């Protein structure tokens, strides 16, 4: 048996199975703070049992940060002085916020992020509760959390040598653009294919390079230091003609996403803890503003097809651009939009296609057609057993999944039904999808009565409106460089006169170092409205201990 923590063995024991039970004792004080795993395995390395445990130690006065304000009263745009005491020669981060702007109170500290949230998949409601104390109720709650939400960051089969460990991504020492080219035709090879990559940013800077590929299709470009997002264009050619292929990119290094059911995402009440929200329920009355004119939109389509309409009552959202980029980066073929939607969400049922034309003027086969003028069909997808009303860019498209129901509805105004919109064929043609279960959402877009008893689900699909044929062997995407560093703006009212200042974060210092006695002093200026201030100080010491005030 081994006890693992952060990939290291912190405890072990050897036992022989027999009639009598074996007892192994390990004191909690001997275990490091955070997530650990107990693994029981046989002589061949096969796991017989494993268990996740969470350990938190009581903090002493030396393991915390003390902050004492020298300023007795907060005045508008006045100076604030804080005296900090903690371990000697320690570097910490300090933040001061206006309490009146913190509607939900503080969320997550360095201890909960370092010791718990970083090792658990998914959202943890009130994560600070599990690290605030090590008494019996808190240990029982953390133990239940390990049973339902714990996952293994390290593979035991790789650690004991049963499975080989392949280093797929080497340690980064700069920016690289790498991936693989997959031919569109099965018998084609990438030997002798020239791949050209062009990058440019919004400031007019550009980079250009090409590489000759071998039979594996792998490529790699070394890039200089680049800041912000860049537009990336690939073009593959063989000889004097374009080469049909799919270009993948190595830029997804996170573990696969674990799908969660709606029941797993429901918050449950925890036992009463010592933490209290900072928000006092104060409200600020905003003066009434009279609008003298209306905004004139330069692009009427962008204004009408705003995603805020679908987002208003949506319960689910899918970023199709991001998903299409992920699929293209992996070198897979772009899936059909409806097939992808059904595969992504099992609540969609039925055939992911409509076996007739969406054109109301088509006089062909009318099997499954309930109303050809208004495009109402008995087949197609349903959601939770309810029919779906499809909106493309906030325009009514069609209604599917009615089955054998007899529909009798009255169209009060058929303007919205005259728009020629269609469901996207492939995933990369769509930008986003919003699913709304609001019974009355469709009434804001089309004037129709008699559908209330059907309880239709509204699916809003927003598309790119790109009707150009994709170039052979080309791909347009993006490349994310380094984040552009920004300086936190703090007003100096010793030089400037007092003014209206509504900063929510009044002060932020990412690097405050204490002296040899463990003391430091911070001075800054208040905003014009703050009467109560929330101070947060956190750090991680050289020995890995997380400190906070």
Classify strands 533-540 and 546-548 as parallel, antiparallel or unpaired. Answer: antiparallel
Displacement of CA 250 from its chain's centroid (Å): 19
Per-residue pLDDT at 330 exceeds 80: yes
Q: Which residues contact 409 (CB under 8 A, 6 or more apart)?
A: 448, 449, 450, 451
Taking the CB of residue 268, how many other CB atoms lie within 10 A of it? 6
Per-residue pLDDT at 460 exceeds 90: yes
Rounded CA separation 374/123 (Å):
43
Sign of the CA dihedral running 149, 433, 330, 207: negative
Q: What is the mean pLDDT of residues 354-369?
A: 56
Per-residue pLDDT at 185 exceeds 90: no
Per-residue pLDDT at 270 exceeds 80: no
Q: What is the mean pLDDT of residues 440-469?
A: 81
Per-residue pLDDT at 230 exceeds 70: yes
Rounded CA separation 381/388 (Å):
7
Q: Which residue has 């100076």 as its token pair? A: 79
pLDDT of residue 28: 81
Cβ pair 50, 38 in contact under 8 A: yes
pLDDT of residue 76: 86
Cβ pair 533, 76 in contact under 8 A: no
pLDDT of residue 209: 92
How much of the chain, in percent, has pLDDT values that exceed 70? 80
Alpha helix (H) ranges present in 269-380? 300-304, 308-311, 320-329, 337-344
Among 85-94, 244-253, 333-342, 465-474, whose mean pLDDT is lowest? Answer: 465-474
Taking the CB of residue 3, how many other CB atoms lie within 10 A of it? 20
Task: Give me the chain's average pLDDT, please.
Answer: 80
In this predicted model, which residue has the larger pLDDT, 417 or 164?
Answer: 164
Q: Which residues contact 333 (CB under 8 A, 6 or more apart)?
A: 246
Among 102-111, 292-301, 422-431, whose mean pLDDT is lowest? Answer: 292-301
With 0.75 as the threshold, say if the pTM is over it.
Answer: no
Rounded CA separation 245/532 (Å):
61
Range with the largest mean pLDDT of 166-170, 250-254, 316-320, 397-401: 316-320
Per-residue pLDDT at 61 exceeds 90: no
Q: Topology of 175-250+473-480 in CATH?
A: Immunoglobulin-like (2.60.40)
Rounded CA separation 32/396 (Å):
59
Q: What is the mean pLDDT of residues 240-253?
A: 85
Per-residue pLDDT at 252 exceeds 80: no
pLDDT of residue 261: 62
Among 33-47, 78-92, 175-189, 264-278, whose mean pLDDT is lowest? Answer: 264-278
* E strands, 406-543, in order: 410-413, 430-436, 447-449, 457-463, 474-480, 505-513, 519-525, 533-540
**3-state class of 340 per DSSP?**
helix
Per-residue pLDDT at 154 exceeds 80: no
pLDDT of residue 278: 46
In this predicted model, which residue has the larger pLDDT, 260 or 116?
Answer: 116
Among 143-152, 341-350, 405-414, 425-434, whose mean pLDDT is lowest? Answer: 405-414
Cβ pair 52, 26 in contact under 8 A: no
Q: What is the mean pLDDT of residues 204-231?
A: 90
Q: Domain-by-domain residue ranges, the chain?
A: 175-250+473-480, 310-463
Q: What is the mean pLDDT of residues 42-55?
A: 79
Rounded CA separation 1/156 (Å):
12
pLDDT of residue 262: 58
Classify strands 386-392 and 457-463 as parallel, antiparallel or unpaired. Answer: parallel
Taking the CB of residue 385, how many other CB atoms lie within 10 A of it? 12
Cβ pair 291, 406 in contact under 8 A: no
Number of separate helices (H) and strands (E) present in the chain: 7, 30
Strand partners, 12: 2
Q: Which two tokens stand for residue 473?
A: 């062997």
C-alpha dihedral over 442, 446, 448, 450, to 10 degrees? -10
Range with the largest mean pLDDT of 154-158, 291-295, 445-449, 525-529: 525-529
Cβ pair 78, 258 in contact under 8 A: no
End-to-end CA distance of the chain: 38
Cβ pair 197, 232 in contact under 8 A: yes
Per-residue pLDDT at 391 exceeds 80: yes
What single-letter DSSP state applies at residue 330? T
In this predicted model, which residue has the larger pLDDT, 232 or 45?
Answer: 232
Range with the largest mean pLDDT of 153-157, 216-220, 271-275: 216-220
pLDDT band at residue 547 using 50, 70 and 90 as cut-offs: confident
Backbone phi, psi, residue 30, to 5° = -85, -15
In this predicted model, which residue has the larger pLDDT, 108 or 94?
Answer: 94
**3-state class of 293 per DSSP?**
coil
Among 94-103, 210-219, 266-275, whose mean pLDDT is lowest? Answer: 266-275
Cβ pair 318, 326 in contact under 8 A: no
List, for residues 488-532, the tens digit of each pLDDT value. 778 888 888 888 888 888 888 888 888 888 888 988 888 888 888
Q: Which residues contact 462 (CB under 8 A, 6 or more apart)?
A: 305, 307, 310, 392, 393, 430, 431, 432, 433
Per-residue pLDDT at 63 exceeds 90: no
Per-residue pLDDT at 17 exceeds 80: no
In this predicted model, which residue has the larger pLDDT, 213 or 360?
Answer: 213
Per-residue pLDDT at 267 exceeds 60: no
In this predicted model, which residue has the larger pLDDT, 99 or 405?
Answer: 99
How much of the chain, in percent, has pLDDT values that exceed 90? 11
Per-residue pLDDT at 366 exceeds 70: no
Among 68-72, 251-255, 379-383, whose mean pLDDT is lowest? Answer: 251-255
Rounded CA separation 379/384 (Å):
15
Rounded CA separation 510/94 (Å):
6
pLDDT of residue 277: 47
3-state SS of the chain: helix, strand, coil percent to 5?
Answer: 15, 30, 55
Cβ pair 141, 127 in contact under 8 A: no
Cβ pair 104, 548 in contact under 8 A: no
Angle among Cα 251, 253, 257 to the nearest 5 degrees reads 115
Q: What kind and span of H or E run contains 148?
A: helix 136-149
Per-residue pLDDT at 539 exceeds 50: yes
pLDDT of residue 354: 66
Which strands sit side by side in the sheet containing 533-540, from one edge to the other? 505-513, 91-98, 533-540, 546-548
pLDDT of residue 281: 52
Per-residue pLDDT at 279 exceeds 50: no
Rounded CA separation 525/458 (Å):
51
């Amino acid at each position: 048996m081994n006890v693992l923590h952060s990939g290291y063995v912190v405890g072990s024991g050897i036992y022989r199975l027999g009639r009598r039970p074996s007892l192994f004792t390990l004191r909690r004080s001997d275990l490091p703070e955070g997530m650990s795993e107990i693994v029981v395995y046989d002589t061949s390395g096969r796991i017989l049992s494993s268990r996740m445990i969470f350990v938190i130690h009581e903090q002493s006065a030396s393991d915390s940060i003390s902050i004492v304000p020298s300023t007795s009263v907060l005045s508008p745009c006045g100076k604030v002085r804080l005296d900090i005491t903690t371990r000697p020669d320690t570097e910490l981060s300090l933040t001061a916020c206006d309490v009146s702007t913190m509607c939900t109170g503080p969320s997550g500290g360095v201890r909960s992020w370092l010791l718990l949230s970083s090792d658990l998949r998914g959202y943890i409601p009130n994560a600070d509760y599990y690290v605030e104390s090590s008494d019996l109720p808190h240990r029982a709650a953390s133990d239940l959390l390990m049973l339902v939400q714990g996952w293994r960051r390290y593979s035991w089969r790789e650690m004991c040598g049963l499975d080989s460990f392949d280093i797929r991504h080497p340690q980064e020492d700069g920016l690289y653009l790498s991936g693989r080219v997959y031919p569109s035709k099965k018998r084609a090879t990438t030997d002798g294919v020239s791949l050209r990559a062009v990058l440019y940013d919004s400031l007019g800077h550009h980079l250009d390079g090409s590489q000759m590929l071998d039979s594996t299709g792998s490529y790699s470009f070394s890039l200089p230091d680049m800041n912000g997002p860049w537009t990336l264009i690939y073009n593959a050619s063989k000889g004097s003609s374009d080469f049909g292929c799919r270009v993948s990119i190595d830029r997804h290094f996170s573990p696969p996403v674990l799908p969660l059911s709606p029941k797993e995402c429901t918050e449950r009440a925890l036992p009463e803890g010592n933490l209290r929200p900072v928000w006092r329920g104060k409200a600020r009355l905003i003066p009434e503003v009279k609008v003298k004119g209306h905004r004139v939109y330069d692009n009427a389509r962008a204004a009408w097809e705003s995603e805020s309409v679908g987002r208003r009552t949506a319960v689910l959202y899918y970023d199709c651009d991001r998903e299409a980029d992920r699929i293209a980066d992996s070198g897979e073929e772009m899936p059909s939009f409806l097939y992808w939607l059904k595969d992504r969400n099992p609540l969609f049922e039925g055939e992911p296609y409509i076996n007739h034309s969406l054109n109301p003027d088509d006089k062909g086969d009318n099997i499954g057609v309930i109303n050809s003028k208004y495009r109402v069909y008995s087949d197609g997808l349903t959601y939770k057993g309810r029919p779906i009303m499809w909106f493309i860019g906030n325009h009514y498209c069609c209604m599917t999944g009615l089955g054998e129901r007899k529909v009798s509805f009255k169209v009060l105004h058929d303007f919205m039904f005259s728009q020629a919109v269609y469901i996207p064929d492939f995933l990369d043609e769509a930008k986003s999808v919003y699913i709304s279960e609001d019974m009355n959402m469709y009434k804001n877009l089309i004037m129709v009565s008699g559908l209330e008893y059907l309880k239709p689900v509204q699916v809003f699909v927003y598309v790119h409106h790109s009707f150009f044929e994709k170039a052979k062997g080309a791909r347009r995407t993006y490349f994310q460089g380094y984040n552009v560093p920004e300086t936190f703006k703090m007003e100096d009212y010793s030089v400037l006169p007092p003014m209206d200042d509504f900063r929510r974060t009044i002060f932020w210092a990412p690097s405050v170092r204490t002296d040899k006695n463990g003391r430091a002093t911070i001075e800054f200026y208040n905003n014009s409205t703050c009467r109560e201030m929330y101070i947060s100080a956190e750090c991680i010491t050289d020995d890995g201990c997380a400190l906070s005030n």
